[in-house]
Structure 1
Amino acid sequence: MDAQLPDVEAGKRFYGELFGWSFQDQPARSPGAVRALKGGEPVASLAHKTDGRMPTVWTVSFATPDAEALCGRIRAAGGQIVSAPLPVGELGVAALVTDPGGAVFGLWQPVGHPGFGRRREPGTFAWVELYTRDTEAANAFYGDLFHDALFGPGADPDFGRAPISDVFPAEMPPHFLVHFAVEDPAATMERVTRLGGRVQVPPFETSYGTAAVVTDDQGASFALLRR
C-alpha cells in the first residue's frame, strides 16, 4: 500500500512518529518516494503526488502473478484501467485500476519486492474495507477476480466490504479504506491530533474489531484497528 502525498517529508514526520516507522529512499518507484519500514521490514510506501488534482489518499495493491492478464479480466468484468502495467525498476510491475463502481486499487506483480514484510501487528497493515454503493456487484466482481484468495483452501483474507449508507455524504464515491493495527485506538487518536491530523469517525465496533477513522496532516484518510 502507498500514500500519495503533497509533501513526502511531512509524511515521514507524521507516520514516523505515529507508528514508529523508519524510511528508505525508493527512487525506482518515483522521485522522492520512500519505503516505510517497521523493525527493518517493509510495511508501506510514501510517494509524491505529482498532480495537484489527484486526491491525497492511501491506495492498497493486490498481488498478482500476471498484472497484464488480470487487467484484461478487470476490463472484461466492467472495471477500468487507470494506469496500465509498468515495470518499477527491478521491484515489480504496477498498475492502477478501478472496479465497476469506480473504487480505485492497485495491482502488484512482485519481482524483487514481494510486498508486506510485516502485517497484522501494531503500526502495520491489518485490514482493508471496500465501501461501495452496489454490494452485490462488488461481491460478484471481487469474488471472481480473487476467488482463491478469498474463498480457497486456507484463505485468510484481510478484505471486507460494506455499503455506502445514508450516514455518508451523498457525494461520497466508492473507495477502499486501509486499516492499521493499533493496541490503543484512543491513545493513537490523541497522537494523530497532536501531529496535525484529525479524527473523522470515533471508535466503533465492526465484525473484524474496533475501528476509528482519521486523516493525516495532509488529508489522507485511514483507519485504526484493534482486533
Structure 2
Amino acid sequence: MLSTTYVPGAPNWLDLGVPDVGAAAEFYGGVFGWTFQSAGPEGGGYGFFQLDGKSVGAAGPLTEPGATPSWTVYFHTPDADGVAKAVEASGGRVRVPPGDVFTAGRMAAFTDPTGADFAVWQPGDTKGLDVVMQPNALCWTELYTTDDATAKDFYRTVFSWQYQSMPTGEGGPEYTVVAPATASDVAEASHGGIMQLQQDNLDAGSGSEWHPYFGVEDCDATYAAATARGATTLFPPMDVPGVGRMAMVNDPFGATFALIKGDPTMG
C-alpha cells in the first residue's frame, strides 16, 4: 500500500494541470473538502490541495504546448537526472528535463513508450504528499496502456519495479500490481496497477494514461457530488469483489480520476 515513508519508485506527489485553477479548486473542494493554498507569486499560479492543513495534491495552469487537463503521478527518485537518462535509453521521452523547484526538490516529466505521461520528484525540503491512504486522499495509482508488455518492461528498467499478476474474473483482462524494488511482499507493498486497454477501448481512441484513485467513505455519495458539479461518468459506482466499490469520472476539465471505498473484508 501507499505510504508517506517514501522509497524509490513509489508515488510521492500528484498534481493537476488545468486551464482554470480557481474553478478546479472550487470543484475539488466541493467533492473532497479540499482547500487550496497558493504557492505565492513566484509559483506561477501553482498551489496545493490540502486536507486539514496537510497536502494531498497540487494544481497549476497548463504550461506545455498542446497539453490537455490531466492528473500527473510523480514517483520518488533520489536521482532525477539518472531517471531521465534511463527513460531515454528505454524508449521514453523527456518532456521536461530535470530542474530544481526552488529548494523544495528536483523534478522531471516524461512520456513512456506507449504514450503515458508521468513525472519524478527528487525530494528536497518537500518530501512528498503529507497524507495518503485516508478518505479523500490518494490511495492507488493505475496505468491504462495500449501495450502492457512494453510498459512493464519500460518501468521495470527505469524504476526496478516488481510485478504480480492478479485475477480479474473469468475472461477478464490481466491486471498487474506494481511494487517498489525494495518490497519483500509485492501484494502487500503494491502502490499501483497496470492494465491493458481492451480492443473496444483502442477502437474508440483511448490512449495510455496514468490516473489516481482517491479513497472515500461513501463511493456513491462522492460520485454524486462530483457529477452534480460537472464531472462526466466513465463508469458509475460498482462493486469489485475483494477490492471494494469504485467509480471513475472525468472532472469538468477532462482530467480522469477514480474513487474507491475499500472492501472491509480485505486485511
Greater alpha carbon shift after TM alignment, 166-175 vs 68-77: 166-175
Correspondence for 2:193? 160
Correspondence for 1:31? 44
2:177 aligned with 1:177, yes or no?
A: no
Q: Is the 8 A contact 1:143 1:150 kept in 2?
A: no
Cα shift readout 1:50-71 (whole Å, capped 9, x = no counterpart): 4573111011010100100111
2:81 aligned with 1:87, yes or no?
A: no
Q: Is the 8 A contact 1:87 1:93 kept in 2?
A: yes
SS in 2 for 1:141: helix
Correspondence for 2:245? 210
Greater alpha carbon shift after TM alignment, 202-211 vs 126-135: 202-211
- The CA distance in 2 between the partners of 1:29 and 1:78, in whole Å, is 34
Correspondence for 1:123? 136
Greater alpha carbon shift after TM alignment, 204-213 vs 82-91: 204-213
SS in 1 for 2:212: strand
Query: TM-score when scaled to structure 1?
Result: 0.92
| Compared CA separation, residues 193 and 117, structure 1 to 2 (3 A) | same
Give, as a single letter, the amino acid of the residue that structure 2 aligns with 1:109. Answer: Q
- The CA distance in 2 between the partners of 1:136 and 1:130, in whole Å, is 12
Cα shift readout 1:64-111 (whole Å, capped 9, x = no counterpart): 001001111111111110110111111111111011111110111110
Correspondence for 1:226? 261
- The CA distance in 1 between the partners of 2:112 and 2:80, in whole Å, is 15
Q: Equivalent pairs: percent with the same residue? A: 33
TM-aligned CA deviation for residue 143 of structure 1? 2.1
Coordinate RMSD, CA, aligned: 1.9
Cα shift readout 1:21-52 (whole Å, capped 9, x = no counterpart): 12211148741111111121111001012457
Q: Is the 8 A contact 1:28 1:89 kept in 2?
A: no
SS in 2 for 1:107: strand
Cα shift readout 1:170-211 (whole Å, capped 9, x = no counterpart): 221111121111121111111011112222211342764432
Give, as a single letter, the amino acid of the residue that structure 1 aligns with 2:180. Answer: L
- Structure 2: segments with no counterpart, 5+ residues: 1-13, 162-178, 263-267
- Equivalent of residue 3 in structure 1, options 7, 11, 16: 16
- Equivalent of residue 18 in structure 1, options 6, 31, 39: 31
| Compared CA separation, residues 158 and 208, structure 1 to 2 (3 A) | farther
| Compared CA separation, residues 29 and 71, structure 1 to 2 (3 A) | farther
Query: TM-score when scaled to structure 2?
Result: 0.79
